[in-house]
Chain A
Amino acid sequence: MSSGSTVLLARKSIRSRLGRTIAIAVAVMAGVSFVVGSFVLADSLRAVFDDLFAELSEDVDLEVRTAQEFDGDSAREPIDVGLADELRAVDGVAVVEPTLTRYAQLVDADGEAVTPQGGPTLGVSWAGDNGLQGVTIKEGAPPQGPGELAIDKATAKREKLAVGDTVTYLTDTGSHQGTISALIGLGSGDSFGGAALVALDVDTALDRFGAGTKADALDIAVADGADVVTVQRAIEAMLPARTEVITGEQLAAEQADDVNQFVDQFGIGLLVFAFITAFVSAFIINNVFQITIGQRLRELALLRAVGASGRQVRRMITVEALILGIIATLLGILGGVLVARLLVAGFNAAGAGFPSPQTIIAARTYVMAAIVGIGITMLSVVVPARRASQIPPVAAMRPELGFTALRTKRLVIGTIITTIGAMLFVIGLFLRPGGTLGLIVLAGGGGLVLFVGVASVSSTIATPVTRAIGWPVEQLFRTPGALARQNVARSPRRTSSSAAALMIGVALVSAAAVFASSLRATFVDTLENAVTADYIVTDDSFQGLSPIVAETLAAVPELQAVTPVRGIAAQVDGDTKAFGAINADAFEKLVNPDLRSGRIAGLGLGEALIGVDPAKDLDLTVGDSFDVTYQNGVSGQLTVAGIYGDATFGNWLIGLDTLESVSDAPARDFFIIGKLADDVDAQRGDVAVNAAMEPFPQANVQTNAEFRTSQEAQINQLLIIISMLLFFAIAIAVLGISITLALGVFERTREIGLLRAVGMSRRQTRRSVRWEAVIVSMFGAVVGVVLGTFLGVVLSLAVPDDVISKLAFSPLIIVLILIGAVVAGLIAAVYPSLKASNMDVLEAIATE
């Protein structure tokens, strides 16, 4: 058999059916572009951060710091500065520089604290112009002694400060004054990634930041010609216990890793939506192939009649798809670069502050693009190509005999697929065989299988449902409306196939809506029942709040109870747990943690409050002791003072004094909660609290109600982001409806010609096609909402109770989705309705 003839036929077919070809190519491209864009964006951002941190520690050959026992979120213990002198004595060590990064903030002439836009306010130590941490002097000389400081040039410009000005600044130890000796920058930039910086010489920093004799780390540069590894070994030999020495490269990699973990998660999140888009594209492509094979029935039968084998027909269709897939993939890669740029611009417009990256297309990206682009095209064509090969040659003369070959046992297969999909989804979510991977593979895969199944089963309900949806259309638009309604209902399979892609998009939005609503309802519930605090102070800088914020707040007479919430990671029974540290006496007045046994107030040194779940798991009751090892390596025992049921503040709580007894790490508060005194009204309280917090701009003071609103707003924002990421998929779905409808109009050429001949106006023709599109997209939306709500409920039930314990639905979102579906239908109808109404009546009737 000749493969040359199949390729020729395939090529010719692609060229002469340009509209269909473009439609398929666009669908493939969209999927590929999104996948490529996600990879390019993540790879490029990662490269930026790798470079940035490598540049920052370029001059650091080695760093000495305290060791940590295991991975966790605790701040590293500080290291004694006295060690620096011993290090300087090691052979080959040229420079040893203690580094410190703490809280410091400028106060302007009016006594207002200077706040950068979005970035943190940091105090750093600076050893002078031989500084190892990438600091460069833009103007002036390094600060020396307690009377001098350096600030970053970007802040200086904004605040109109110059070298020689005297300024006031706040640190953890209070308010200080100094003269600006230098304006500094990072490398060639004037700013430190948006942070406002106050730099002091090392001794002044230790004193003013309240660090005593302990720095964060000791950075080392080796002498010219000295071997870094030899020096590292020499240092290792002399280090005290629980300290370590790492290379500058390791340091840069660690720092970059912290950021890149976020980049990776972000990239994976994007990829999920990219694959959803590709999946939706596959539906469209499959549908278009299916329809065109129906339209080409006689042509394909003729090929069979003149001697093409079934295999040749199948190969021809497959080759057509392959050529299309390859071209679309190549275009998709180009599109992906554009998508990456758009995503950066989009997220930056939303305030993400991504650096503008160079474009990195890794080899892996090309491979994935090919797998996705060519893969979805080939996968979509398998069934249509097989059907095409089964068209009997006699259909060339009697087409009606051919259509039976195109029919399948859709309901039976569809029901089986739907059941399997739903089972996989539920098993994946609830039983989680194989841990997280099992969850993702089973629940994700099950979800996809479920979509395929529902798409195929939905044809059985298409006729009654679209008749119902079409009823008001018919009442409104009479004959064109009735025609629209009948056209949709007469080919239920076509209707369900073209609505399938939209159904998936809508289902995902609906599932996210149920999930978000439930999350919000649970959160509100918790806040109402478990939290009795009037004020919640959160941290806008992601650095944690300095303890002086909580101290200041505690000193406000209008408040009766204030506690900060700090954290430390510790291992209990071999598992790493996040411990919260609180002022228990205040905590009891601020939180209702559903105490089951024991007490909260009077929590002593070495005592702990634990949740009911871990108490049960470890078989602990009040008065029992258990062993803990903190991340800094300190180990000890804690005695259970109380057992509580509400895990809003975690399952493990200790007193602030216990935390201080085991860790020297600089204290940083996640948030602070406070309660008004009984005789103080809210208005007076607000004034007092806001006045007390004025010097701490990164402390975001919210009343209980404001906090609730802002958290709800965050959940809403999450939902909006998810919907926006589904935009691609939904746009493809609309394109799909448009293509199907255009092909339908083409098929009905003669029929439309007849209608026009007997007196239907162009306007009525357009209207009929337009409402046909609206009914189809409404059908997709209705099925999608039902399916999505089901998925959302299952998903919400699968999530642990302390995250979601209450189901909630959002009728508003459902209404918005349905309105959106009408709009989607109207957009999809633009081209097909024009095509229908612009038909030449005589030609249309003459068409066979």
Chain B
Amino acid sequence: MNVTTHPAGPPTAGGDSVPAAGAIDACKYYGVGDAQVRALDGVTVAFETGRFTAIMGPSGSGKSTLLHCLAGLDTLTSGATYIGGTYLASLSDRELTELRRTDVGFVFQAFNLIPTLTADENIRLPMMLGGETGDLAWIDHVIGTVGLADRLKHRPSELSGGQQQRVAVARALASQPKIIFADEPTGNLDSTTGTEILTFMGDAVREFGQTIVMVTHDPVAAANADRVVFVGDGKIVGEMSDPTPDSILDHLKQYGV
């Protein structure tokens, strides 16, 4: 891992946990003048290592933009985002690519897998791209845990939606990244399959110490997280620890969403 540490490193949050990623006064504007849209309007937030955080908010609240910027997929208008000890703005495209490959895992709502590759190849893809084999024992363990051992030679089109998402989660875990970003990972799934995936993600955090940040608008999904951050109109509007579906709903009602 060659990612250089920024000289003036990101703030270490007080208390027992060190942030795996975060944003400082992050702003993202689209357009100019009257037509300007403030997708992010001064967001400062930190995500602790080894925890499962959910970002919630209504459509257009800026939660997805925040996730994309945190993950280095999109750039900010002003402010900063960091992963581990590294400010993303300081990285070249090449370094950013390497960061994504080694330090970050992704699970998207849909179209997670390369259609021409088998499930197995999709899981190993980030390592393959780096010309590495990865930790084979770990990968086998992940595959075993996800329960896909008998579907490894199948192409995405031969897998169900739930199976496809499990492959995506397995891929995110396989390279042992510092943080996994998940964008509505259960949005396309029925509730049973969705719960399965969320439970699995929760297990990954608790058993393997994985850090996960997940965007969702579903209180039930968010309840699997250790902490929920609420976003509205491009700002952080609140947060909650150890949530339940009911407490989340109460919180949302409080803001009239």
Contact = CB atoms under 8 A, between A and B. Distances in A.
Interface of A: 1-5, 8-9, 12-13, 15-17, 298-299, 302-310, 312, 392-394, 396-397, 848
Interface string B88-113: 00000110011011100010111111
8 contacts: A2-B131, A16-B155, A302-B112, A305-B106, A306-B129, A307-B97, A307-B100, A307-B126
Contacts of A302: 108, 111-114
Nearest to A5: B128
Nearest to A12: B116
B74 interface: yes
B131 A305 contact: no
Contacts of B131: 1-5
B233 interface: no
Contacts of A8: 121, 128
A309 B93 CA distance: 8
Contacts of A299: 111, 114-115
B64 A9 contact: no
Contacts of B125: 5, 303, 306-307
Nearest to A2: B131
Contact of A397 (B98, B109, B113, B117): B109
Contact of A16 (B100, B115, B129): B115
A310 B93 contact: yes
B48 interface: no
B116 A393 contact: no
Contact of A393 (B100, B112, B114, B155): B100
Contacts of B68: 394, 397
Given A1-B131, A303-B125, A306-B129, 13 more contacts: A5-B125, A9-B114, A16-B115, A16-B116, A302-B113, A306-B106, A306-B171, A307-B97, A307-B126, A307-B129, A309-B97, A393-B73, A394-B73
B129 A298 contact: no
A306 B171 CA distance: 9
Contacts of B93: 309-310
A312 B115 contact: no
A797 B128 CA distance: 61
A333 to B, nearest CB: 29
Contacts of A4: 128, 131
B111 A306 contact: no
B41 interface: no
B116 A15 contact: yes
Nearest to A303: B114
Given A9-B117, A13-B116, A307-B101, A396 B126 contact: no
Contacts of A305: 73, 100, 106, 108
Contacts of A848: 110-111
Nearest to A1: B131
A16 B114 CA distance: 11
Contacts of B117: 9, 12
Most chain A CB atoms below 10 A, which of B102, B106, B113, B114? B114
Interface residues of B, number: 33
Among the interface residues A1, A2, A306, which one has the most CB atoms of the partner chain B within 10 A?
A306
Interface string B211-247: 0000000000000000000000000000000000000
Interface of B: 64, 68, 73-74, 93-94, 97-98, 100-102, 106, 108-117, 121, 125-126, 128-132, 155, 171, 183
Contacts of A15: 116
Given A5-B129, A393-B73, A397-B108, A309 B94 contact: yes
Contacts of B100: 304-307, 393
Nearest to A401: B74
Contacts of A312: 129
Contact of A307 (B102, B113, B115, B155): B102
Contact of B129 (A2, A13, A392, A393): A2
B130 A2 contact: yes
B128 A396 contact: no
Given A306-B126, A306-B129, A392 B73 contact: yes
A9 B111 contact: no
Contacts of A3: 131
Contact of A2 (B74, B97, B102, B128): B128
Contacts of B106: 305-306, 396
Nearest to A17: B116
Nearest to B101: A307
A241 to B, nearest CB: 80
B72 to A, nearest CB: 8
A302 B110 CA distance: 11
A242 to B, nearest CB: 77
A8 to B, nearest CB: 7
Contacts of A307: 97-98, 100-102, 125-126, 129-130
A108 B109 CA distance: 94
Contacts of B171: 306
Contact of B130 (A1, A12, A17, A298): A1
Given A2-B128, A397-B183, A306 B108 contact: no
A15 B118 CA distance: 13
B111 A298 contact: yes
B115 A397 contact: no
Interface centre among B112, B125, B155 (most CB of A within 10 A): B125
A848 B115 CA distance: 14
A44 B106 CA distance: 61
Nearest to A396: B108
B156 to A, nearest CB: 10
Nearest to B111: A298
Cβ-closest 10 pairs across A and B: A307-B101, A2-B131, A5-B128, A12-B116, A394-B73, A16-B116, A309-B97, A307-B126, A307-B100, A393-B73
A430 B89 CA distance: 57
A396 B114 contact: no
A825 to B, nearest CB: 32
Given A298-B111, A397-B64, A310 B129 contact: no
A24 B114 CA distance: 22
B112 to A, nearest CB: 7
Nearest to A316: B129
A305 B96 CA distance: 10
Contacts of A309: 93-94, 97-98, 129
A8 B114 CA distance: 12
A356 to B, nearest CB: 47
A639 B209 CA distance: 109
Contacts of B94: 309
B204 to A, nearest CB: 17
A306 B126 CA distance: 6
